[in-house]
């Protein structure tokens, strides 16, 4: 066997190895993408834990006596905090300091936030809608006696969080509740269109000043 | 060319054609299955329509003045009526005659029905829980002051209906609501496990007769 043959065989083997490695890399990335597309579910009540360290501008710790382990609540807070471009919130009751705090932290970091909620429940003392507005976030709401009863949020226009869970401590820590996290493009598109439809319907320039009864 | 050659060529062409047709058939079935696995969404309020013809034992019609066209409500009723083996209902408020009626029709046809609901809301005059029980359907409920706030149902252990929608006329015809219909095996499994967990937790033989406050 000549030495030029041996060089060629080595070259072919190297190229083959590189192509195989690259193929495996793309296969791995594809399988990871497929796995990420799968919807996930969180069930509540969540154990009472402290999520304050997640909300600090720089990595920090909290010395309060509550446990600091992962929970359905911390997973939901992390998801809101993972937003890079936008958070669209369309939730009936918004009083949880942990979830509204996560949205506020993202907003302060430059994420565009829009909030749609229910006019009756935003008037409750515990509602965080006032805090959102004071921070500069635009909030829109229905103007009738029916309920804007959705409980969904869209992260970066590509992740949908939806379920039975209102954003309240009662719902998070005491009720039986569920939240689905879903990336399916058609479902995300349908909820995005619903959000834009309601955002337009609840435009304050369209208010009639004699509230509708239905 | 001999005639035996021509026979062989005809045979090969026929087998090729049959295999191609079969391949296309399975490809079509697979694509149909993939499409069916995609989650779907229904938004409410639904227009006020009559779904009574769907609930009749034999195909019939209804002469009431309401429209009889398809709507988010009729799609949800059809889904409940499509059950062949089981319906597991886990819903906070059950007062809609259309949706409870669909479950009752399936039950009368031999479908196994189990219902989990909230103890506070089942006491309302409009609740259909009493009708379920009179028909022989087993209903279980929480025994504390928190809410069993889920709004989901499982059809034949393979289709999940879940969202913000309580089974009430207010929710169906007046509120902004959503329902996702999902067949993803992992999600269906998670909700099935949640149902079985609550079904076991709310077993009446486990009641304490001094109700818990939390």
CB of A185 less than 8 A from some CB of B: no
| DSSP code for A58 | S
What are residue B99's phi and psi, to 5 degrees? -75, -45
Residues sharing a CB contact under 8 Å with residue A49, sequence separation 6 or more, in sequence order: A66, A67, A68, A69, A71, A73, A74
What pLDDT, on the 0 to 100 scale, is given for residue A37?
74
Contact criterion met (CB < 8 Å) for B176 and A170: no
* Residue A120 pLDDT exceeds 80: yes
Exposed e or buried b per residue across A62-91, where buried means at least 16 C-beta atoms within 10 angstroms of its C-beta: eeeeeebeebbbbebbebbbebeeebbbbb
What pLDDT, on the 0 to 100 scale, is given for residue B33?
79
**Model pLDDT for residues B143-188, shown as the tens digit of each residue:** 888 999 999 999 999 999 999 999 999 999 999 999 999 999 999 9
What pLDDT, on the 0 to 100 scale, is given for residue B174?
97
From chain B, pick out residues whose CB is under 8 angstroms from the CB of A185. none
* Residue A106 pLDDT exceeds 60: yes
From chain A, pick out residues whose CB is under 8 angstroms from the CB of B142. 176
Contact criterion met (CB < 8 Å) for B41 and A191: yes
Q: Distance between CA B165 and CA A143 in Å, rounded? A: 20
Residue of A nearest to B177 (CA): A150
What pLDDT, on the 0 to 100 scale, is given for residue A82?
96
What pLDDT, on the 0 to 100 scale, is given for residue B89?
98
**Model pLDDT for residues A131-175, shown as the tens digit of each residue:** 999 999 999 999 889 999 999 999 999 999 999 999 999 999 999
Contact criterion met (CB < 8 Å) for B184 and A92: no
**Model pLDDT for residues A74-99, shown as the tens digit of each residue:** 999 999 999 999 999 999 999 999 99
Q: Distance between CA A202 and CA A171 in Å, rounded? A: 26
Contact criterion met (CB < 8 Å) for A194 and B45: no
Nearest to A149 among B175, B182, B187 (CB): B175
Structure tokens at B169: 């006329």
Local confidence band at A104 (pLDDT 50, 70, 90 cut-offs)? very high
Please, is A38 exposed, middle or buried when counting C-beta atoms within 10 Å of its C-beta (0-12, 13-18, 19+)?
A: middle
Local confidence band at B211 (pLDDT 50, 70, 90 cut-offs)? low
Q: Distance between CA A180 and CA A160 in Å, rounded? A: 8
Strands (E) across B129-173 are located at: 138-141, 151-155, 159-163
Give pTM, 2 decimals: 0.85
CB of B149 less than 8 A from some CB of A: yes
CATH architecture, domain defined by A39-205: 2-Layer Sandwich (3.30)
Task: Identify which of B179, B211, B176, B155 has the alpha carbon closest to the alpha carbon of residue B39.
Answer: B179
What average pLDDT does range B112-140 have in this prediction? 93
Contact criterion met (CB < 8 Å) for B176 and A146: yes
Largest CA distance in chain A: 96
Q: Distance between CA B191 and CA B196 in Å, rounded? A: 9
CB of A169 less than 8 A from some CB of B: no
Task: Identify which of B107, B48, B98 has the alpha carbon closest to the alpha carbon of residue B78.
Answer: B98
């Amino acid at each position: 066997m000549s030495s030029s043959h041996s060089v060629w065989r080595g070259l072919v083997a190297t190229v083959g190895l590189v192509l195989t490695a690259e193929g495996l890399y793309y296969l791995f990335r594809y399988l990871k993408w497929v796995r990420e597309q799968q919807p996930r579910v969180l069930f509540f009540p969540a154990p009472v834990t402290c999520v304050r360290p997640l909300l600090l501008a720089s990595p920090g710790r909290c010395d309060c006596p509550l446990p600091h382990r992962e929970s359905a609540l911390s997973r939901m807070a992390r998801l809101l905090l993972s937003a890079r471009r936008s958070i669209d919130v369309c939730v009936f009751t918004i009083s949880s300091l942990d979830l509204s705090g996560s949205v506020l932290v993202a907003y302060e970091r430059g994420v565009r936030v829009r909030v749609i909620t229910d006019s009756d429940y935003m008037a409750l003392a515990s509602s965080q809608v006032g805090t959102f507005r004071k921070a500069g976030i635009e909030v829109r709401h229905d103007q009738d006696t029916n309920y804007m009863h959705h409980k969904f949020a869209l992260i970066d226009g590509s992740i949908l969080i939806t379920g039975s869970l209102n954003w309240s401590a009662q719902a998070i820590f005491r009720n039986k509740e569920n939240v689905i996290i879903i990336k399916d493009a058609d479902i995300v598109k349908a909820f995005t269109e619903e959000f834009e439809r309601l955002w337009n319907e609840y435009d304050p320039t369209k208010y009639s000043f004699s509230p509708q009864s239905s």
